[in-house]
Amino acid sequence: MTRPLCQGCKTSPCACRTTPRLLAVIACLALVACGASQRQTTLANTVNAFGVVKTAFIAYDGQHEANIVNGCDVKAPAAECTAKLAAYRAERAKFLTALVAGYQAVVDAYRLDTDPSVAAAAVAAVSIRKALQSLGANI
């Protein structure tokens, strides 16, 4: 990425300024990373942001599983409730896979220290956001 693009992010309504979504911020920061120092800062911020997402997800996960069980009709077969939990966990697995892939992309970016590797971490962040949207988590 070139420096003008970095400056453009500060002056134009790019995603990191128009949406509160944390992962959009990560994607924007990663896409405008310029130079080794800025890449390092971007990656450090990305790790911190992933940590915030992880913490928020843990809070969501426990509450959502409890809500599923509490919402089950006790007169219905237990298998129906088990199936609902399994369905949620299957969707959750997609998010967890995306999050682990995101962390892996950040590790790779630290190791490679190149703009393409930082861009790949940004792509992974977008995948995490999509997986969160699929889960219905309001994070």
Partner 1 sequence: MNASEELSALAAAIPIAEQLLAAWKDRHATLTAAAALEKIGTDLADLKTEVAADDAKADAMLAAKFGIDPRD
Interface contacts to partner 1, rule CB under 8 A: 40, 43-44, 47-48, 50-51, 54, 57-58, 61-62, 65-66, 68-70, 72, 74, 78, 81-82, 85-86, 89-90, 92-93, 96-97, 99-100, 103-104, 106-107, 110-111
Q: Please state the length of the chain.
A: 139
Torsion, Cα 19 32 23 43, to 10 degrees, reads -150
Minimum gap (Å) between residue 91 Cβ and partner 1: 11
Cα 104 to Cα 110: distance, rounded to the nearest angstrom = 10
Minimum gap (Å) between residue 55 Cβ and partner 1: 8
Q: Would you state the structure tokens that stand for residue 25, as one six-digit string?
A: 């911020």
Cα 3 to Cα 86: distance, rounded to the nearest angstrom = 47
Residue placing its CB nearer to partner 1 in the complex, 37 or 138:
37
Minimum gap (Å) between residue 112 Cβ and partner 1: 11
Minimum gap (Å) between residue 85 Cβ and partner 1: 6
Cα 136 to Cα 70: distance, rounded to the nearest angstrom = 18
Closest CA to 3 of 51, 35, 36: 35
Residue placing its CB nearer to partner 1 in the complex, 10 or 100:
100
Residue placing its CB nearer to partner 1 in the complex, 12 or 63:
63
Residue placing its CB nearer to partner 1 in the complex, 20 or 74:
74
Termini Cα distance of the chain? 29
